[in-house]
Amino acid sequence: MGRLVWNRLHFSKDPDTGKQHARLNPEDRVTKGPMAHPRIIDDTLWDQMKARQGAMETKDTDVPMRDRRRPKFLFFGLMACCCCGGRFSNVPKDGFACSTARKKARAVCTNVAVIKQAKLEARVLLALEHHLMDEEAVQILCEEYAVRPDACARPADCQCML
């Protein structure tokens, strides 16, 4: 059988703002009792489901399931701002922009440029298609990628071109 809890919260209205606030009642004012109908999922099925979730959490890897999700966009998490080194994040209407400039202040990052997802993917994939087999370009890419964590600081007066 299930359990039903009554009178867990009380609501008060703020006279200044007119907003309603929920507050927990003291434990002695809370009423608990059994429900008249059985649970939707019985205890044995619930325990089996929880055991399966635990097995899926560590299946074939030490990385938890929540960390194994893949990004929805091709370059998500790979783009960094040329001004501040901050990450790019999704913006409305299928675009990407510097999250530091959007969430913090213009004093931190002045890059307010937005690039559309389709335009970004087309540009990068076209460049890869034309320059992927150039050995010199691959060597430069490998060298730049190796020093990437150390190259986060950029001058404040940079000119970002998308």
Confirm whether 30 is domain-assigned: yes
How far apart CA 54 and CA 115 sit, in angstroms, is 41
Whether residue 21 is found in the same domain as residue 39: yes
Q: Are residues 84 and 124 in the same domain?
A: yes
Both 81 and 119 in one domain: the answer is yes
Token couple for 4: 């039903």
13-69 pLDDT, tens per residue? 999 999 999 999 999 999 998 887 777 888 899 899 989 888 776 666 777 666 666
pLDDT at 67: 66
pLDDT digits (tens, 9 = 90+) for 65-94: 666 666 677 777 788 888 888 888 888 888
- For residue 83, which phi and psi values (nearest 5 degrees)? -90, -50
Report, as an integer, the average pLDDT of 103-112. Answer: 81
Mark whether 17 and 64 lie in a shared domain.
yes
Whether 91 and 53 map to the same domain: the answer is no
Among residues 116, 103, 105, 110, the alpha carbon closest in space to that of 81 is found at: 110
Residue at which a domain ends, from 48, 68, 88: 68
Could you list the residue range(s) of the whole structural domain that residue 59 is in? Answer: 3-68
Residue 37 in any domain: the answer is: yes
pLDDT digits (tens, 9 = 90+) for 124-159: 888 888 877 677 877 887 787 777 644 444 444 445
In a domain, 113, yes or no: yes
Q: Is residue 114 part of a domain?
A: yes
85 and 49: one domain? no
61, 82: one domain: no
Both 7 and 64 in one domain: the answer is yes
Q: Is 83 in the same domain as 64?
A: no
For residue 33, what are the β-bridge partners? 4
The alpha carbon dihedral of 24, 26, 31, 37 has a sign of positive
In a domain, 156, yes or no: no
What does the pLDDT read at residue 133? 67
Number of domains in the chain: 2
CA dist 126 and 129 (Å) reads 5
Say whether both 46 and 78 belong to one domain. Answer: no
In a domain, 58, yes or no: yes
Does residue 24 belong to any structural domain of this protein? yes
Contact 105, 86 (CB under 8 A): no
Query: What average pLDDT is seen over the chain?
Result: 79
Residue 2 has pLDDT above 80, yes or no: no
As a whole number of angstroms, the distance between CA 127 and CA 136 comes to 14
| Among 91, 69, 67, 68, CA closest to 79 | 91
159 in any annotated domain: no
Say whether both 94 and 48 belong to one domain.
Answer: no
